[in-house]
C-alpha cells in the first residue's frame, strides 16, 4: 500500500480530501481489507488501480513486491509530488546481515524501492532497526507494542500473575521492555539454538576460518577457536504457577515457540501466550500451534492470516490500522511524527 500526493496542478481535480490518494496492492484480499480500514480512518476514498498478472504465478511475497514497485514507478512517471510507501511488514527483513558469502537481501529491496520512486516509507517493527540505514529516504519504523500491551491488560484478566518470557537471550531486551511497562517479572530461556543470529552465519567468519595448522604462516601463532556447544535448556526466572507470555517480533517457523512452551509447561506455567507483531505462520504452523501447549497466539494484521485463523482458533488478531492511518495523515499534513513514538522504548 502507498499514498500519493498529486502535483499542484492536479490537486484541485482530485475528489479525495486534501489531494491525498490511497492505493493498495490487489494481489491479496486481506491486504485490501487493511487498506480499506486505513482509508475509512483518514476519510478518503481508495484510488482505483488495476494490476495484471499471469494466473499461474501464485500469490506470494515476491508478487506483492513487484506490484508495489510497478505501482510506485507508475506514480513517479506520472509526476506525483510525493509517494509514501506503507509496508507494515518489510519482506526479507531477517536477511539483513552478511551470512558467510550470502547477500543482504533487505539492502537490495531498499535500493529497489528508492530507485522506483518512493519518497517516504512507513513500516512497523523492523526485525533489525539498522535496516532504516539501507534507505536514502525518510523511514518511520512504527511500533505495535502499545496495542499488544493493551491486549494483555484488557484480554488477560489475571495478567498481574504473568511473567514476560524471552524464548532466547536475543529477545531479552524486548521482553524486558514489555515487563517494565506492565510491571511484571521476566524469564529467559537459555540453551536454544541461535540459527539466524549466531556468529557462525552472520559474516564474522568470512572469509572462512583456517582449518589446518599447516596453512598458517610459521611466524603467526593464532589460537584455535573453541567450538561452541549448546548448554542444556534452562529457564532463568520463576514461572511456576504463573501465566507465561512469550514476546517476539516475528512468528513464522513455530518450532522454537513450541519448544519454549513445552519447557515452560514443565517448569509449572499454567497458561502460555505468544505475542508477536508479524504473524507469517507459514506452512503447517496453524496445525502445530493447535496441537501444542500454547493457549493463544496474538499477532497484528500487518500480514494477512485469515486462512491460518480458520485452521487454528488459538490465533487472535490485533488491529493496528489506527497507527498507520495517523502516520499517513501526519506526513501528508507536514505534522510532527513524535506523538506516535511517545513513551516508546528503543527496545520495543
Question: Per-residue pLDDT tens for 192-216?
Answer: 544 444 444 444 445 555 555 455 5
Region 112-130: mean pLDDT is 95
Domain limits, the chain: 29-143+322-341, 145-190+233-318
pLDDT for position 235: 92
pLDDT for position 5: 64
Residue 226 or residue 340, greater confidence: 340
Q: Check pLDDT > 90 for residue 234.
A: no
Protein fold of 145-190+233-318: Rossmann fold (3.40.50)
What is the grid cell recorded at 154?
484488557
Three-class DSSP category at 113: helix
Region 151-177: mean pLDDT is 94
Q: How far apart are CA 63 and CA 21, in angstroms?
A: 22
Q: Check pLDDT > 90 for residue 266.
A: yes
Length of the chain: 348
Q: Check pLDDT > 90 for residue 107.
A: yes
278, 320 Cβ separation under 8 angstroms: no
Protein fold of 29-143+322-341: Rossmann fold (3.40.50)
pLDDT for position 56: 38
pLDDT for position 12: 39
Q: Check pLDDT > 60 for residue 309.
A: yes
Kind and range of the H or E element at 40? helix 29-42
Are domains 29-143+322-341 and 145-190+233-318 of this chain identical in fold? Answer: yes
pLDDT for position 316: 97
Which segment, 89-93, 273-277, 331-335, is predicted with the most confidence on average? 273-277
Query: To the nearest whole number, what is the mean pLDDT of the chain?
Result: 84
324: β partners: none
Q: Check pLDDT > 60 for residue 158.
A: yes
pLDDT for position 28: 65
Percent share of the chain, pLDDT over 90: 56
Torsion, CA 71, CA 25, CA 86, CA 115, rounded to 10: -30
31, 25 Cβ separation under 8 angstroms: yes
144, 317 Cβ separation under 8 angstroms: no
Strand 120-124 and strand 82-87: the pairing is parallel
7, 81 Cβ separation under 8 angstroms: yes
Region 43-53: mean pLDDT is 74
Instruction: Label residues 16-37 b or e (16+ Cβ within 10 Å = b).
Output: beebbbbbbbbbbeebbebbeb
pLDDT for position 33: 83
Residue with cell 589446518: 212
Question: Considering only 161-165, 232-236, 242-246, which range has the smallest mean pLDDT?
Answer: 232-236
Question: Would you give the distance in Å from CA 7 to the centre of its chain?
Answer: 33
Work out the burial of residue 93: count CB atoms within 10 Å of its CB; fewer than 13 is exposed, 13-18 middle, 19 or more buried: buried
Percent share of the chain, pLDDT over 70: 81
Amino acid at each position: 500500500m502507498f499514498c500519493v500526493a498529486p502535483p499542484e496542478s492536479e490537486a484541485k481535480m482530485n475528489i479525495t480530501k486534501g489531494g491525498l490518494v490511497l492505493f493498495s496492492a490487489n494481489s491479496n484480499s486481506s491486504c485490501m481489507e487493511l487498506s480499506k480500514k486505513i482509508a475509512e480512518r483518514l476519510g478518503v476514498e481508495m484510488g482505483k488501480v488495476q494490476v495484471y498478472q499471469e494466473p499461474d504465478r501464485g500469490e506470494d511475497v515476491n508478487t506483492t513486491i513487484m506490484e508495489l514497485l510497478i505501482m510506485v514507478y507508475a506514480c513517479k512517471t506520472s509526476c506525483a509530488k510525493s509517494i509514501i510507501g506503507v509496508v507494515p511488514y518489510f519482506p526479507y527483513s531477517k536477511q539483513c546481515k552478511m551470512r558467510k558469502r550470502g547477500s543482504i537481501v533487505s539492502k537490495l529491496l531498499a535500493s529497489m524501492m528508492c530507485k522506483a520512486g518512493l519518497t517516504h516509507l512507513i513500516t512497523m517493527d523492523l526485525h533489525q532497526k539498522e535496516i532504516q540505514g539501507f534507505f536514502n529516504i525518510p523511514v518511520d519504523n512504527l511500533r505495535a507494542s502499545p496495542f499488544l500491551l493493551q491486549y494483555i491488560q484488557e484480554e488477560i484478566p489475571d495478567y498481574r500473575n504473568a511473567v514476560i518470557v524471552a524464548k532466547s537471550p536475543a529477545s531479552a531486551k524486548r521482553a524486558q521492555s514489555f515487563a517494565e511497562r506492565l510491571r511484571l517479572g521476566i524469564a529467559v530461556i537459555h540453551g536454544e539454538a541461535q540459527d539466524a543470529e549466531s556468529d557462525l552465519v552472520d559474516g564474522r567468519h568470512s572469509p572462512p576460518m583456517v582449518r589446518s595448522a599447516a596453512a598458517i604462516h610459521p611466524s603467526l601463532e593464532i589460537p584455535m577457536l573453541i567450538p561452541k556447544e549448546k548448554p542444556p535448556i534452562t529457564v532463568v526466572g520463576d514461572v511456576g504457577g504463573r501465566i507465561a507470555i512469550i514476546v517476539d517480533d516475528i512468528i513464522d517457523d513455530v518450532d522454537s515457540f513450541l519448544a519454549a512452551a513445552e519447557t515452560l509447561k514443565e517448569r509449572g506455567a499454567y497458561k502460555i501466550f505468544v505475542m508477536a507483531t508479524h504473524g507469517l505462520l507459514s506452512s503447517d504452523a496453524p496445525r502445530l500451534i493447535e496441537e501444542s501447549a500454547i493457549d493463544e497466539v496474538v499477532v497484528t494484521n500487518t500480514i494477512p492470516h485469515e486462512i491460518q485463523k480458520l485452521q487454528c482458533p488459538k490465533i487472535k488478531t490485533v488491529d493496528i490500522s489506527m497507527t498507520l492511518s495517523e502516520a499517513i495523515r501526519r506526513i501528508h499534513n507536514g505534522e510532527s511524527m513524535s506523538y506516535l513514538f511517545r513513551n516508546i522504548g528503543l527496545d520495543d
